[in-house]
Structure 1
C-alpha cells in the first residue's frame, strides 16, 4: 500500500475517533472577521474556515507562509526551488490568482502576467494570526476571491510592555532572528517588529545524466519590518495605523541547465500600510473608515543586470458599518480600489504603465436565532475597463442538536483581467472586444460536530469557473502579437470533499484531514496541471511538563506537470518532527526536523525541493 493510502487510512481513522469522543460544548469559540467582514463567532460561520494561531506559527520550521499553509485543508503549493522562488498556491484546485491575500485588511496583489499574490514574499515572524475562508467570496471582497480568502494579521500591542526575541540556525546554512516590542500605555498600544533570515540554499534545478555539470547553490535572504500604533481616543473610538514591509532576495536558475558563473536572482519587495478609524457607537451600531495601500515590486537580475521588472500598487478606501436589530445584523460597504502597473512588457503607447479603478457597493444581512443561522451578501463592482459586475451569496445553517450543525451555501465570484493582460501586446487591440472578467459559481454543503476536545467536519464543494483568460495561438489577429493573444477561453470545474477532525487520545492531540478533489478542464476533461486528486494530513502532539513533542505527515497524490496530462509528477509523503522545551516563563527552545525521511520530490517538474533540514532555535520573552 502506498504512503498516501496509508496516511489516508490513518487520517480517516483519526477523524472517526473524534466523532466517538464524549459530546460537550466547546470551551472556546473563536471570533473571525474575514468570513463576513465583521466579528462573528466561529460556531456561527457558514463556510469552511481555518484559523492558525501564533503558537502554531512558532512551531513551523523550514520555509515561509506558503509552507505553513500547505499543511492546511485543500491547499497545495508549487514552488520553483527554494522558499524565495516563485510560488503558486492552489486552494481547492483553483489557480493561484483565484485566492485573495489580505494583510491586515489590505489587498496584496500583482497585476503583471496572470497576477496573483506573492506567496513567497510573506515572512512568518511578524504574523500573529491567519484566517482561511474557502469558497466564493466576491460578494464581500470583489475581484479575486473566486476560490477563497486568506487574511494575515500582524502583531498587536496588548498588556504590559513586552520585548520578545527569537533566533535559529539550521541546515543549508540557515541563520535567522527576530525582535518584537509591544505593549499598551494608557490609551496607546503599540507593536514594532523586525526580522531577518539568510541561507546558503541548495541547487534548484535537477540536471541529470551529465557528469560534467557543476551544480550551484541557490541561496535566499529576506528581511522584514512591521509596526502598529493604536489610540483609544474615547470610549468606542479607536484610531490605528500600521505598516509592514518585506524584501526577499533569492537565487534561482533561469535556464534548465545553468551555465557556470551565471547568477540569476529574483527580488520581491512587498509593502502594505493602512489607516483605520473604528467606532462603536453603542452595543448595536459600529462603523469603520479605512485607507490602505500595498506595493508589490518584482525584479529578476542576471549577474547584477535587470532582465525583468514589474511593480503593482493597489490603493483602497472603504467605509463600512453594521447595525444589529434583534436577531439580525445589517452590514453596508462602500469601497474604491485603484490599481497601477509599471511593467517593461506593456505596449509602447502606454509609456510602460497602466491603471484602472473599481467602485463597489456591498450589502449583507446576517441572522441567528433558535438554532438557525442565515447570511445574504450582495455586491456591485464597477470597473473602469469593462463595466459592472454583480455578485452575491446565500447561506443557511441549522444547529439541529448539541454540538451539531449543518449548512449550505451558494455564491458567485469574479476576477478582473490583470492590467498586463489588457495593456501588453498580448491584450486586445483597438476595435477588438475587451477581455471579460472570469466568472465563478460555487455551491457547497457542510456538516460539523464539536465536542469537549474534539471536532469533526465534512464539506462538499462544486465550483465552476468560466471565461478563464488564457494565452492561445488561436486568438492571433485580436492583438499586436503574431504568436498569440489573451482571450476568454477556458472553463474549469473544481469539485471535491474535505474531511477534517481533531481529538484528544491518551493525552495526544490528534489532527487529521483528507481531501478528495477533481480540478478539471470542463472542455477537455483533463485534470489541471500540478494538482492532485488526493491530499492527506495527520498531526499528533503532546505536552510533558514544559516539553512539547509533535509529528506531522502530509501527503499529495500523483499529478501532471501540464494541463495536457502528458508529463506525470509522482505523489509524495513528508514527515516533519518538532520538539519544544520551555526552560522557564521567559525561555523556550525549539527543534524542527523537516522532511525527516529526506524525501526527493517535485512540485514543478525539474525543480528540486529541500531535503532533510534541521533547525534549532530559542525564543525569549525579556
Structure 2
C-alpha cells in the first residue's frame, strides 16, 4: 500500500546510548513505572486536569470527566517548556503519536496517530481545517510554529461523524494565542546550538467592547547535515538550515452580553534547506518554501441559558514550492474553504448539537490532467447531529453525519459511546464509530488517477471500536485504552491499476489495501515526594491485512516518561522517549533500529516579569533515524528569556 512515506535516514548506532537508556530497557522501565502509579495517592498540589474543558471531541464545551474518548490537553506552560523544534516535536512526546521527518524541523514531516497514515489525522487551527490536496494529502505538520500556540487538544479515535472527511484516526486542534482584557505585552527571545536564534512578541488588550491580540515570531538556524554518507571521497557534506516567521492576529467585538464577533488570521512562512539526492552536489542548494494561511470569521450568540449558535467562514491556504539554486522545480497550491452553521440546545434531559457545513477544495498543480487547465475543484455538503447525555454516573453520546461529495456521492458516518462511573474515581467507557477520507484532488485528477471513462476513486473507510478505563484520585490519574481500527479501500499506488490511468509510468492510484490498527495505550501521572511523574506506554500492531506486514516506519512499542519538580522560583524536568525497532518499508525488508532520547529543561523565575529558560534536547547525542537515509538533530542546547513588563 502507499503509506504517504517520507524519504529516509541513517541506521542508528545503539552504542551511543548507555545500556540503562537503550530502547528495550527504557520501555520496560516506563511500563513498570506507570503500573505503579495506581499505588501513589498524594495530597493535591496542582489543579486536577479533569476540571478542564475540552471542545474538540464534540464541537461543544465539555468537561474532561465527561469526554468519551482518549484525549490530551496541552497548555501554554507545556508549549513554553519546548526548546527545540516545532509543533510535531511537542506532539511526538504524547501518547499514541510517532513522527517521521526528513532531517531538520523544516523538512517534510509525517505524524502517525495510533499507527495510522499521516493523512488520517485531521488538523484544525482555531477551527479551520488544514489539509493539502496534492499527493496523498494530509496536514503540513512541519509548517506549524509553536510560538503562536496557546493550547492543543488531541482526540484519538474515529471522529468523522463530527468532522467529516480525514478524521479516521483522530483530530488535533491548535488554538492560537488570545488577548486579555488587561493590556499585556510579552517578549520571548533565545539562542541555541546549530546557530539557532528565535524571538517572539505578543500584544493584547481591550478598549470597551473591542479586544485584540497580535503575535509575531521568527526563528533562524544554520542547521546540520541531514544526509550522511561514509567511505565516499566524492561526497561533499553540506549544512541544511531553516528560517521561519509567523503572524497571528485576533480581533473581537462584544455586540452585547451574549453575542460576539471575531476575526482570526494566522500566517506562517517556512524556508528550509534539504537535499534532493543522497549525495548533494557541490554548489547546489535545495530548498523547500512552505507558506500556510488560516483565517476565520465567527459570530457566536448565546440567545438564552439553553440555546447557543455559531456561524463561521474558515479559509486555509497552503503553497509548497521546491527550488534548486533558486530555480523552481515543483509548485503546488491548495485552498480549503468551509462554511459552518451550528447550534446547541440544552434539553430537559441531555443536550442536542446540530451542524450544517459546506467544504470547498481547490488544487493548482502542474501534474493535473491537461484537460483541467492545471487546477481542479470539488465540494462537500454535510449535515450532522449529536445527542449528549450526562448525570452523576452515566455519560452517553450519539453522533450522526451525512456528507455529500460532488465527486463520489454520499457517505454516512456515526459514533455511539457510553461511560459508567461504577466506583468513586473509576470510570469505564466504550465507543464504536465509522470514518472516511475523501481522495485528494491530485489522486483523482492527475495523470496517475482514473482516466476519463473509468470509475472514480472511492473514499477510504474506517471502522473503530475502543474500550477505556480511567481512575483518578486527588492529583493522581491513570488511563487504559484498548482500540481496534480497520481501514479498507485505502488508496494505493500499484501497477495493477496501470490500465486505468493516463500515465504509462507503471502504475497509478486505486482502492486496494486494507489495514488493521490495534493497540493498547496506558497513561498516568501522580505526585511522588513532591515530584510530578507523567508517562505513557503504547503497544500497537499497525498491519497491512493484504500482506500481513507491519506498516512501515511504525514501532510496535513506544513510551514516554516525564519527571518534573518545582522548588521556589526553580522548575525543572527530565523527559525520556523510547521507540522500538521498525521497518522503513511496507515490505519489511529495511529495518530501522530503535532509539531513546533524553531531554532536560530548567526555568528560573527572576521576578513577576522575567523568567529564564534552558533546554538540552537529545542529551546523550543519540545518532538515530526516523526515515532511512536522513539524520535527525544531534544534541542541542537552548537558553531563553521571557519578559512580561507591567503596563
TM-score normalized with structure 1 length: 0.99
Query: Which position in structure 1 is the counterpart of 2:352?
Result: 330
Query: Which position in structure 2 is the counterpart of 1:434?
Result: 456
Query: Which position in structure 2 is the counterpart of 1:227?
Result: 249
- 1:132, distance to aligned residue in structure 2 (A): 0.2
Structure 2 CA distance for aligned equivalents of residues 151 and 557 of structure 1: 28
Q: How does 1:502-521 map to 2 (within 5 A)?
A: 502-521=525-544
Structure 2 CA distance for aligned equivalents of residues 192 and 488 of structure 1: 45
- 1:299, distance to aligned residue in structure 2 (A): 0.4
Correspondent of 1:353 among 371, 375, 387: 375
**Does 2:22 correspond to 1:3?**
yes
- 1:370, distance to aligned residue in structure 2 (A): 3.3
Correspondent of 1:32 among 21, 38, 54: 54
Structure 1 CA distance for aligned equivalents of residues 37 and 332 of structure 2: 48
Structure 2 CA distance for aligned equivalents of residues 606 and 487 of structure 1: 29
Structure 2 CA distance for aligned equivalents of residues 6 and 57 of structure 1: 28
Query: Which position in structure 1 is the counterpart of 2:470?
Result: 448
- 1:3, distance to aligned residue in structure 2 (A): 2.0
Correspondent of 2:399 among 369, 377, 387: 377
Query: Which position in structure 1 is the counterpart of 2:422?
Result: 400
* Root-mean-square deviation over aligned CA pairs: 1.1
Specify every segment of 5 or more residues in structure 1 that has no aligned partner in the other structure, as ranges: none
Q: Deviations over 1:386-406 (max 9, x none)?
A: 000100000000011111111
- 1:105, distance to aligned residue in structure 2 (A): 0.1
**Does 2:622 correspond to 1:599?**
yes
State the 4+ residue runs in structure 1 displaced beyond 4 angstroms: 23-28
Q: How does 1:176-195 map to 2 (within 5 A)?
A: 176-195=198-217
Q: Say which SS state the counterpart of residue 618 (structure 1) adopts.
A: strand
**Does 2:129 correspond to 1:110?**
no
- 1:551, distance to aligned residue in structure 2 (A): 0.5
**Does 2:608 correspond to 1:585?**
yes
Kept in 2, the 8 Å contact 1:14–1:502? The answer is: no
- 1:269, distance to aligned residue in structure 2 (A): 0.2
Structure 1 CA distance for aligned equivalents of residues 233 and 82 of structure 2: 37
Q: How does 1:272-291 map to 2 (within 5 A)?
A: 272-291=294-313
Structure 2 CA distance for aligned equivalents of residues 45 and 327 of structure 1: 17
- 1:20, distance to aligned residue in structure 2 (A): 1.5
Kept in 2, the 8 Å contact 1:23–1:450? The answer is: no
Q: Deviations over 1:135-155 (max 9, x none)?
A: 000000000000000000001
Correspondent of 1:554 among 577, 586, 605: 577
Query: Which position in structure 2 is the counterpart of 1:96?
Result: 118
Query: Which position in structure 1 is the counterpart of 2:326?
Result: 304
* Larger RCO (CA under 8 A, 6+ residues apart): 2
- 1:23, distance to aligned residue in structure 2 (A): 8.1
Question: Residues 592, 27 of structure 1: CA spacing in aligned structure 2 closer, same or farther, 3 A cutoff?
Answer: closer
Structure 2 CA distance for aligned equivalents of residues 448 and 486 of structure 1: 42
- 1:24, distance to aligned residue in structure 2 (A): 8.4
Structure 2 CA distance for aligned equivalents of residues 182 and 19 of structure 1: 42
Query: Which position in structure 2 is the counterpart of 1:151?
Result: 173
Kept in 2, the 8 Å contact 1:7–1:537? The answer is: no
Structure 1 CA distance for aligned equivalents of residues 439 and 483 of structure 2: 25
Structure 1 CA distance for aligned equivalents of residues 43 and 477 of structure 2: 11
Specify every segment of 5 or more residues in structure 2 that has no aligned partner in the other structure, as ranges: 1-18
Query: Which position in structure 2 is the counterpart of 1:485?
Result: 508
- 1:373, distance to aligned residue in structure 2 (A): 0.3
Structure 2 CA distance for aligned equivalents of residues 539 and 23 of structure 1: 18
Kept in 2, the 8 Å contact 1:358–1:381? The answer is: yes
Farther off after superposition, 12-21 or 65-74: 12-21
Q: Report the count of equivalent residues.
A: 622
- 1:178, distance to aligned residue in structure 2 (A): 0.2
Correspondent of 1:238 among 260, 263, 266: 260
TM-score normalized with structure 2 length: 0.95
Farther off after superposition, 353-362 or 25-34: 25-34
Query: Which position in structure 2 is the counterpart of 1:621?
Result: 644
Correspondent of 1:542 among 547, 552, 565: 565
Q: Say which SS state the counterpart of residue 94 (structure 2) adopts.
A: coil
**Does 2:444 correspond to 1:425?**
no
- 1:207, distance to aligned residue in structure 2 (A): 1.2
Structure 2 CA distance for aligned equivalents of residues 295 and 315 of structure 1: 9
Question: Residues 331, 24 of structure 1: CA spacing in aligned structure 2 closer, same or farther, 3 A cutoff?
Answer: farther
Kept in 2, the 8 Å contact 1:569–1:602? The answer is: yes
